[in-house]
Chain A
Amino acid sequence: MDNQKPKVLIVDDEKGLRIGTKRLLEQEGYCVATAENGKEGIRIGTSEEFDIAIIDLKMPDIDGITVLKEIRNKWPNTVCFIATAYASYETAIEATKLGAFSYIPKPFTPDEFLSNVNKGYENRLHILDRENWKREREARLLEVAFEKTRINTIINSISDGILVVNKNAETVLFNPSALVYLSLEKIDIEENILNKINPQISDLITKCLQKGEYVKKSYSSQVEIKPNHELVIEATSSPVPHPDGSLAGVVVVLKNITKLKKIEYIKNQFVSMVSHELKAPIAAVYGFLKILSDPNIPVSPEQQESFIKRSETRLESLLKMVNDLLDISRMEMNTYHREIIEIDVNEIIISILELFSSEIENKKIDVTKNVDSPLPVIHGDSGEITRLFTNLISNAIKYNKEGGKININIECSGNYLLAEIADTGIGMKDDEVNSLFHEFYRAKNEFTKNISGTGLGLSIVKRIVDAYSGKLEVFSEYKTGTTFRIFLPINKGNAQNS
């Protein structure tokens, strides 16, 4: 195959020589191209890479040295010969300086010529080998460098802090997060870290190092780096082995658990608050029972009856609170199984109003209801939607004035169903509105002290509305009334089901 044969370019203005050497080389298995002058020689010699170029020194248009320069410039590995009848020491030096491999004096015998070309070709093969080897080595070096940068980049990108120390607890490697989580300005490589960092973390490192040998065991500890829970980390130290299994050092991973700690704190507070709220009715009932059973405390029959009645009321509200709490916990844990069906909110509200009819009558409350027709259906769990409106309507009755009004308005508002429940009750002050949806929050003022409640109703309302990607608005004026506006999505009311 032609392209496997060594390629030779002959640049010479002497036609006989071109033909002769071409024939000679082709017989020897070379692939030969010829150029009859310097210009042509440059054109052909630079258009593709030849293994060997044999260039006549003296040509009418451009001299051989220029041709040599041009070709070597383009293909530095092409082995070039200068052929000339005017052999001189100076031109030989110059040609060699410019990168000519050798010098073929004219006239030459076929054997001399072939021996030169063959030597040149051998040289060319050496050059190519060396080039190949160099390229491979460079590629390998590049790869190693790349691998190293890549691992560094990865370690530096890890959001957890990473600190590696050797057997003497001197720093070997760390990433930027480690600085942040250790609250240090800088760490010097090879400096002993133990006295620089939080003693709890030093302890973890010491534990891994003290045996002096590699034992696959990690140690963990939660450390408050900045006071008041501003930065809490979990540090885990693990020993690192040498390839031979001996102990090389320790790697410490620092994880930011500040948020988790905050959640834990909130949870603990919630538990305390729940306990407190549960304790109040228990204490009240317990107190009544003690008084009723104590012969030393005089109690009239009317008082006795009242105490029993009040104990019942407290226990009822306790039971309700426990149920509310269970509901909240189910919502939090996402274990509430929703049965999503098409729901007519108007129907639900009608049935709720029926349920509360005696309370409404007792308080002489005037209920009016306006419903858009036709009312779009929403998709939801009927239990949950009922609970939502029950809590709101129950509040509207409970916190209303004697002979007050409740106005219910249900309409379509864009992609939402808007249900508005307005009462003419005791209303709320601004700061009370802000705390309204907090668990156990109950506005405390002269109007509310005789109204019982768990402080969980509106918190449940909010959770339900949120679960349906809805929206909740409250407008309230102290002593005048409160309006709740509930927006529930019409078509895609699918709450995230568990």
Chain B
Amino acid sequence: MSSGKKILIVDDDLDLLEQHKLLLESKGYQVFCADTTDNGWELFLQEKPDAAIIDLMMEEHDSGFVLSYKIKSHEFGKNIPVFILTSATYVTGYKFEAKTDEEREWIKCDEIINKPVQVDQLVQKLEHYFAEQSAHH
């Protein structure tokens, strides 16, 4: 189903990074991994992925938001789905989601996905965005 789309994963937990890579590869995606926001940004510019999945808490508690914002502000990046990966809803006591346009606007990402990741759900969401994109074109 997935036609070898390019997915960028950024996570500072090397174990989770590798697991997510394996899982998504098993679903037929081409996966690029970065373990810092800087590397993630470079890889984004270099590979121009079709989607990005970014862990929220890396160098800083909100590194994921910062990187997501950068990607979403980029000419190419504004058109790709960016997912934030987190268990932070429990950490800060603040529940945040990206359900409304307003939330998506200030958070600058398309989905917030709670850990641990259910790969089938993740794939479903990715495919949903890819389908929307091709419908637009």
A445-B59 Cα distance, complex, nearest whole Å: 7
Pick from A268, A286, A297, A310: contact of B22, CB below 8 A: A297
Q: Is A319 an interface residue (CB 8 A)?
A: no
Q: For the complex, is B12 an interface residue (Cβ under 8 Å from A)?
A: yes
B90 and A272 form a contact (CB under 8 A): yes
Number of interface residues of A (CB under 8 A): 27
Question: In the complex the two chains form, is A310's CB within 8 Å of B15's CB?
Answer: yes
Q: Is the interface of A mostly helix, strand, loop or mixed?
A: helix
Give the interface centre of B15, B59, B115, B116 by most chain A CB atoms within 10 Å: B15
Interface string of B84-102 (1 = CB under 8 A from A): 0001101111000000000
Chain A positions 258-278 with a Cβ under 8 Å from a chain B Cβ: 268-269, 272-273, 275-276
Contact (Cβ within 8 A) B36 A446 = yes
Q: How many residues of B contact A (CB 8 A)?
A: 22
Known: A276-B90, A283-B116, A444-B59. Is A291-B12 also a contact (CB below 8 A)? no
Q: Please tell me if the beta carbons of B116 and A314 are within 8 angstroms of each other in the complex.
A: no
Interface set, chain A 40-60, CB cutoff 8 A to B: none
Q: How many A-B residue pairs have CB under 8 A?
A: 56
Known: A286-B116, A297-B23, A444-B58. A280 touches B13 (CB 8 A): yes
Rounded to whole angstroms, the CA-CA distance of A370 and B91 in the bound complex is: 45
Contact pattern, B 4-45, Cβ under 8 Å of A = 1, otherwise 0: 000000001111100100110010000000011000000000
With A287-B16, A288-B19 known as contacts, the answer to whether A275 contacts B90 (CB < 8 A) is yes
Q: Give the interface of A toward B (CB within 8 A).
A: 268-269, 272-273, 275-276, 279-280, 283-284, 286-288, 290-291, 294, 296-299, 310, 314, 444-446, 449-450
25 contacts between A and B (CB under 8 A): A275-B91, A276-B57, A276-B87, A276-B88, A276-B90, A276-B91, A279-B87, A283-B16, A283-B115, A283-B116, A284-B13, A284-B15, A286-B116, A287-B15, A287-B19, A288-B19, A291-B19, A294-B26, A298-B26, A299-B22, A310-B15, A314-B15, A444-B59, A449-B12, A449-B35
> Chain B interface (Cβ within 8 Å of chain A)?
12-16, 19, 22-23, 26, 35-36, 57-59, 87-88, 90-93, 115-116
